[in-house]
Structure 1
Amino acid sequence: MRSRSRAPYSNYSVGAAIETENGNIIGGCNVEISSYGLTCCAERVVLFRAISEGYDSFKALSVATENGGMPCGACRQVIWELCGNISIYICDKNGLVKSVESGDLIPDPFDDTKLE
């Protein structure tokens, strides 16, 4: 999915894939816009795509970058809210760099329990 990335400004291509509970794999990539605030990260693209295709339960997320970069804060929040505590596999151009749990990436998250 990294090869499909649109990153003409940063040249930082990111691909992501989510595994659904029933074993389907859905991919996505980052899409940059010149107004950076409108850019969408690969992690959010793949999750929003999965939701729009009718999936709502996930096993694991893989993120691939050139250098093994971690999800940004916004993506960590979205991952937590849509997936709960799932495994995230971070990869660079050579393969797996590390495996983390989403709960470890966002301690004390803001979620629906805070809205009660």
Structure 2
Amino acid sequence: MSLSDAARAVRENAYVPYSKFKVGAAVRTPSGAIHAGCNVENAAYPEGTCAEAGAIAAMVAAGETEIAEVYVIADSPTPVSPCGGCRQKIAEFADGAVKVTLATTDGDEFETTVADLLPGAFNPRQMERT
């Protein structure tokens, strides 16, 4: 299964009774494994979980901690970018040069990088003392 197929398929499982806005995300690790996630809302809206966070949680639960590529898809007129919190979550596990593809269900795609999504990202190296 391709990264886009995984994101598209998991998007259908999104639990979005409040926003009605389904999002699917998939990450590929250097091992080639694909981990997918969808957004999950709850009655304490907006205290839900984003699709990107779900994919990252699945990756970590599987014992991996490095992202090699990201794909995010939503039914929108233009490709939707991850929220600020998810940009930081992606940057925690991905190098700045990692490709991020943002897509619509109609087939429009926009390719960018982690660094372009989150310039000047805070990272664990900044907490190290020299």
Q: Normalised by the size of structure 1, how large is the TM-score? A: 0.93
Distance in 2 (CA, whole Å) between partners of 1:47 and 1:96 is 24
Q: Aligned ranges for residues 1-116 of structure 1 at < 5 Å? A: 1-67=10-76, 68-85=79-96, 86-116=98-128
Distance in structure 2 (CA, Å) of the matches to 1:35 and 1:84:
34
Gaps of 5+ in 1: none
> CA RMSD, aligned part only?
1.2
Gaps spanning 5+ residues in structure 2: where? 1-9
Contact 1:89 1:96 in 2 (8 A): no
Q: What TM-score results when the alignment is normalised by the length of structure 2? A: 0.83
Q: Percent of aligned positions with the same letter in both sequences?
A: 31
Closer, same or farther: CA 37–114 of 1 in aligned 2, 3 Å: farther
Indicate if the aligned counterparts of 2:18 and 2:45 stay in contact, CA closer than 8 A. Answer: no
> Deviation of residue 91 (structure 1)?
0.8
**Runs of 4+ in structure 1 over 2 Å off:** none
